[in-house]
Chain A
């Protein structure tokens, strides 16, 4: 095990058409695809065509596929991380890689999560990203602006001054206006097909909790850092709760990556696709070496993993 390496798995927003073809050409990737195709009862590669990937169900399943496949390829080459963490849907790939649940069960869970998220995404609601204010500043503004008819909630804390809020567009407009007055650099709507990380999705979390009760779970074989509380987790129960619940809570991503650093990880490898998490880490945790596999090569990343293990 590489005592200084963590794998981080990206969330929704990172998916792009053709992302599965861009994964390393490695037996472990092909094997993972075969496994997933069998479970899905169709070729997993159908998930990321420009049309299909627009559906959150395909997007989330494709992200699961990419994350698990790439992590397995790394492991095949001898690079096993000390810890894993995934943003939102990424947490499921992280949990599968930590052997908490099987890939087949992961697929079941992710499909249910995505389908329910689609169902429970009311129109008139969405997400807004606020840049340039701290968490407690945004929390105070949310508190002031929210109402029963036009709720607003604190969502993901991706970086010390990159906060996402959820809620009704009207409620969030109030928060945005106040935020800009208070000195925020930007307050912009996120272009996402479904609502996420909002208390409005508690019914989804409840359904996932139910499903997880019938899934055989194991203690993680490496540390898993959770989304909701950013705790380092070593038991199946805690991780199951985190997987079920993250959809209804803001992801404390900045705290989670800080915990990875405090646990001794000095190298973060981001699984494909993209480099969203790498960019966040480069800015918020500059002492950490952060590499996006999508922008690199498997052999380079493996070499870095071995260099960092001393």
Chain B
């Protein structure tokens, strides 16, 4: 070997020699980026020589991640998200071919790398390395620094695949003294555009709910800092700020600071002067040049390109924002929610972290204080945790149910906990196409349930709502229908979106945003 640099053709052999059966391995399966040269090489080792690895991986995304278990190279897994492999994962569990340690929210998994899931070897990816092993992780830094730190300072081995090896790096993201082996990959590491949403697919229902959120929540409580869980519902909100938000005179008053991936649908709001800062978990394919042109908004290095950091951004999403908002598929009468589908094991990602109220928070902000619902001197504020739910999916399945599917999924999979995404006692607001339930204001469980039923439409739970009770709740401001907050249903159409297509987003960015091929229709 030349310093830390390993010839690529030797990688499978090297993995076989350097890893020991039963080792705890972190494999960089981040959300957006994947160390796929290393994972594709790992599946080629001889299972007789290397087996029963304990895999710690935040995002089970690549086909070969689970092939490791089919072949017996790996046996146990601790992870956070498995959306792209959720059926195969459920099958492997059913067949007894995989042992799940636990499912975590992202930052929780990374925290355990320093406690009881300390890795023996970490397999990471970076854009470039120099001959000393310094790494440039660039816009998609994501989880790498934290993963490397966990191994680098506990006698663990750090193996990094890079797109290229250069003489001088644009900037050093990870020092070479933390890295043991560098190998140039056969092709650039895999990168998925997970946070791109085509405005063409936003419908009027989502626009109506977006208007209600801006008026009835962001304006009402003065939300200055926030995270949007990915989805068309939140993309609609982002595209309504420069238009609907502007008509309400809200620029400079709300939505200034974001813990958010670089959503292309945020471009119009940025260009219209709404956004003061965005800290990112990772980057987004196609956004590189636009980000580099807005160093006043994004976190960029001396090289001009984005520096993202998932763990820090998740920490920001936990303690430093006024509000989290995300959409969910299923909710029970107590506002517990989950996105599980029967027969699939998708895990959580970051939502449970963003979507909970951290009791350790001590600093206040107007929106946080506005959540105080009791006169007690020891009352404290709360993070706004907003759930968006359309009352019916695909015509027939109500979103509001008596029992979450998560209960039976958890039972069937032998999990100690049902895979609930967001717990009802953390939820402050529920938004449906019917209206907003300000559940944080409700007194007692019965009143909370009534507030929820009042916006649950014609689902079985919604049909329980009694008209007199709903009227009373509206009067007290615990439930608001669009007309109660001066939101005009008729105004909710696509012409209200600041951008209605991918081409519009490109135009807003001055041509700097370059949508990946699958989003380009021209």
Contact = CB atoms under 8 A, between A and B. Distances in A.
B251 interface: no
Interface stretch (A13-21, A54-62, A64-72, A129-137): A129-137
B301 interface: no
Contacts of B396: 132-134, 161, 183-184
Given A132-B395, A263-B63, A255 B343 contact: yes
B94 to A, nearest CB: 9
A96 interface: no
Nearest to A136: B342
A262 B63 contact: yes
Given A136-B342, A255-B343, A263-B63, A232 B395 contact: no
Interface string B394-410: 11110000000000000
Given A136-B342, A230-B91, A262 B395 contact: no
Contacts of B84: 262
A262 B60 CA distance: 11
Contacts of B91: 229-231, 259
Is chain A's interface secondary structure helix, strand, loop, or mixed overall? loop
B81 to A, nearest CB: 14
A259 B88 contact: yes
B87 A255 contact: yes
B365 interface: no
Interface in B416-448: none
Nearest to B343: A255
Contacts of A133: 396
B85 interface: yes
Interface residues of B, number: 17
A256 to B, nearest CB: 10
B394 A262 contact: no
Contact of A258 (B63, B87, B395): B87
A54 to B, nearest CB: 36
Contacts of B87: 230, 255, 258-259, 262
Contacts of B62: 264
A278 to B, nearest CB: 19
Interface in B355-396: 394-396
Interface residues on A, range: 20 to 34
B348 to A, nearest CB: 19
Contacts of A132: 395-396
Interface in A119-145: 132-136
Nearest to B397: A134
A183 B458 CA distance: 13
Interface string B71-92: 0000000000000111110010
B368 to A, nearest CB: 39
A268 to B, nearest CB: 16
Nearest to A183: B396
Interface string B87-117: 1100100010000000000000000000000
B73 to A, nearest CB: 14
Interface string A171-213: 0000000000001110000000000000000000000000000
Contacts of A232: 70, 88
A262 B88 CA distance: 7
Nearest to B91: A231
Contact of B85 (A161, A183, A184, A262): A262
B509 to A, nearest CB: 25
A162 to B, nearest CB: 12
Contacts of B85: 262
Contact of A264 (B63, B95, B395): B63
A232 B396 CA distance: 31
Interface in B40-87: 62-63, 66, 70, 84-87
Interface string A111-122: 000000000000
B49 to A, nearest CB: 20
A135 B405 CA distance: 13
B99 to A, nearest CB: 18
Contacts of B343: 255
Interface in A219-256: 229-232, 234, 255
Nearest to B405: A136
A231 B84 CA distance: 16
Contacts of B86: 262
A259 B84 CA distance: 10
Contacts of B395: 132, 185
B346 to A, nearest CB: 12
Nearest to B85: A262
A259 B88 CA distance: 6
A265 to B, nearest CB: 9
A134 B86 CA distance: 18
A262 B84 CA distance: 6
Contacts of A134: 396-397
A86 B343 CA distance: 21
Contacts of B88: 232, 259, 262-263
Interface string A145-181: 0000000000000000100000000000000000000
A132 B397 CA distance: 9
Nearest to A266: B518
A263 B88 CA distance: 9
B519 to A, nearest CB: 12
A132 B84 CA distance: 25
A257 to B, nearest CB: 10
Nearest to B396: A183
A185 B86 CA distance: 28
Interchain residue pairs A-B with the least CB separation, the first 6: A264-B63, A258-B87, A263-B63, A183-B396, A262-B88, A262-B85
Given A255-B87, A262-B88, A263-B63, 4 more contacts: A229-B91, A230-B87, A231-B95, A263-B88
Interface of A: 132-136, 161, 183-185, 229-232, 234, 255, 258-259, 262-264
16 contacts: A134-B397, A136-B342, A161-B394, A183-B396, A184-B396, A229-B91, A230-B87, A230-B91, A231-B91, A232-B70, A234-B70, A259-B88, A259-B91, A262-B66, A262-B87, A262-B88
Interface of B: 62-63, 66, 70, 84-88, 91, 95, 342-343, 394-397
